[in-house]
Structure 1
Amino acid sequence: MTLQLGEDEEHPREKQRGPVVLRRSRRVEDTTTDQRLLDSRGPADWVHTDPWRVLRIQAEFVEGFGALAEVPKAVTVFGSARTGRDHPEYQLGRDIGAALAGAGFAAITGGGPGAMEAVNRGCSEAGGLSIGLGIELPFEQGLNPWVDLGVNFRYFFTRKTMFIKYAQAFICLPGGFGTLDELFEALTLVQTKKVTKFPVVLFGKSYWDGLYQWLRSAVFAEGKIGEKDLALLHLTDDVDDAIEVVEDAYRAWGDAH
């Protein structure tokens, strides 16, 4: 490296770019930030840079927090987007949404079709607050028509924060990879006490029992999780039972706060 005039090893050429310090001539830019902002010429590649993504992420958090800050007590319900309207699980989702509304809970889903639509529909039709948190996907999806309050996200991790921050319980209907991802993220956050303990209800014993038995016979048996970790899961086929678990946990949470 060749030092420029006025430079030495202890005092290299330096330029400030906001909170960032650029040193040594190979890192110094010839333009300023406001000059680049006001100069509309050139390619639009800058909108895909990491610093710009950070602003988008920040904006998503601000929009999400702002939209959901005054949401009353709520339960997040996960489930498959592939559940058809003629499938028994669709009616089950409607029943759960209606029961949550009847118990005074808002229902939060991913806002998509299938089981998510069913829960939003049941909650909305029963007079409850039906919330959908959508996600940008390569294929067209959009929020289902029974979402009363909807927020769309670009980033999964921002959306997951909203699922967790504004819920007092999780109910998982049968689902695929997305449902499993959300289930285990919720369990991990509860297990590690990143969130206040609240229940995770697995609805549909015949669907979830294989997973539960594997957790017990393999993961627990080999000491990878403890008895208290298994106790975080509640399996049921009964809507009233699920709502009772949610209400009991909410009362316990309220007493602790």
Structure 2
Amino acid sequence: MTTDPQPAPVTPVAPRGKRRQTGPVTLRGHNVPSTTTDQRLLEGRQPNEWLHADPWRVMRIQSEFVEGFGTLSELGPAAAVFGSARTLPDDPAYATGVEVGRLLAEAGYAVITGGGPGAMEAANKGAFQAGGTSVGLGIELPFETGLNEYVDLGINFRYFFARKVMFLKYSRGFIVLPGGFGTLDELFEAVTLAQTQKVTQFPVVLMGVAYWQGLLDWLRDTVLEDGMISPSDLDRLVLTDDPNEAVRVIRTYEENHS
């Protein structure tokens, strides 16, 4: 009497579930921490042992700067495109982002974005399809899942400040598509650093007259009127609906300051 062999037990496949990009590491499922690296760094109410671990964090921060500088140092002329991760593919702003990315690539610029979905994906897509260099500087966030598919040179950062340095160091101009708090943060940080002469001057183009006009009106009628900024500070911002004009502003500025 023979006995049929028993089938090998099947190992259950865990669902993909949550996903987090933490620097170069991809985490899924139960491995995804409940807080981000930035959040843990800035948390003041921690057990005392964290105070003694903070100096070691400097090594991790240093590694992000070394990785970023080493990867981007030979990038060549580049322009940054900011915009919302929530922009949908059928939004006119998405099509504008694709066109901006394409025109920048055709003008000889690498296109640097935050590497995420939405407007960032659009600009990367335009650059990628035009045969240009499409760069994504990703960041560890609890609600985003790594770099978009059109990034062909990508770096994932744990710390916002290291990532921001890369945008400012390697971009010769900024084009800002409609966006929320993150986009506003990037916009105003770039303008503030130029205003305080922490960085060399560079053009900042706001794409979308209907979206940005209210902000410019408030800056002029309230902030400038109350003496909180100077007229030259507003001159740093160029407002347009035309992607060709946006790229032309960056090229003209660079030609005049080369």
Return the TM-score normalized by structure 2: 0.79
Q: Does 1:182 align with 2:182?
A: no
Higher RCO (CA < 8 A, seq sep 6+): 2
1:195 corresponds, among 193, 196, 199, to 199
Kept in 2, the 8 Å contact 1:171–1:202? The answer is yes
1:5-44 to 2 correspondences below 5 Å:
none
Q: Which residue of 1 aligns with 2:103?
A: 99
Q: Which residue of 1 aligns with 2:119?
A: 115
Distance in 1, Cα, partners of 2:247 & 2:82: 15
Question: Unpaired segments of 5 or more residues in structure 2?
Answer: 1-48
Partner Cα distance (2:50, 2:213) in 1: 49
Cα distance in 2, alignment partners of residues 148 and 154 from structure 1? 20
CA distance in 2, matches of 1:213, 1:153: 35
- Structural mapping, 1:48-127, within 5 Å: 49-127=53-131
CA-to-partner distance for each residue in 1:207-228, whole Å, 9 max, x for gaps? Answer: 0000000000000001110110
Q: CA deviation at 1:139?
A: 2.5
Amino acid at match of 1:194: K
| Cα distance in 2, alignment partners of residues 115 and 48 from structure 1 | 41
Partner of 2:244: 240
1:221 pairs with one of 220, 225, 242 = 225
Indicate conservation of the 8 Å contact 2:79/2:175, yes or no.
yes
Q: In terms of mean alpha carbon deviation, does 199-208 or 244-253 score higher?
A: 244-253
Q: Deviations over 1:109-150 (max 9, x none)?
A: 000000000000000100110000000012342000000100
Give the corresponding residue for 1:154: 158
CA 48–75 in structure 1, closer or farther in 2 if over 3 Å, else same: farther
Aligned length: 210
Q: How much does 1:46 deviate?
A: 7.2
* Counterpart position of 1:204: 208
Q: Who is 2:41 aligned against? A: none
How far residue 94 of structure 1 moved from its aligned partner, in angstroms, is 0.4
Deviation at 1:72, TM superposition (A): 1.0
- For residues 249 and 232 of structure 1, the distance between their equivalents in structure 2, rounded to whole angstroms, comes to 11
Q: Deviations over 1:23-48 (max 9, x none)?
A: xxxxxxxxxxxxxxxxxxxxxx7799
Unpaired runs of 5+ in structure 1?
A: 1-44
Partner amino acid for 1:156? F
Q: Deviations over 1:9-65 (max 9, x none)?
A: xxxxxxxxxxxxxxxxxxxxxxxxxxxxxxxxxxxx779921121111000000000
Residue 49 to residue 244, structure 1, CA distance change in 2 (3 Å): same
Contact 1:98 1:123 in 2 (8 A): yes
Secondary structure, in 3 states, of the residue corresponding to 1:131?
A: strand
Question: Is contact 1:46-1:52 (8 Å) kept?
Answer: no
- Of the three residues 165, 168, 173, the one matched with 1:169 is 173
SS in 2 for 1:124: helix
- Alpha carbons 1:120, 1:146 under 8 Å: kept: yes
Deviation, 1:240, is 1.0
Against the structure 1 CA distance between its residues 69 and 227, is the aligned structure 2 distance closer, same or farther, given a 3 Å change threshold?
Answer: same
What percentage of aligned pairs have identical amino acids? 62
Q: Secondary structure at the match of 2:93?
A: helix
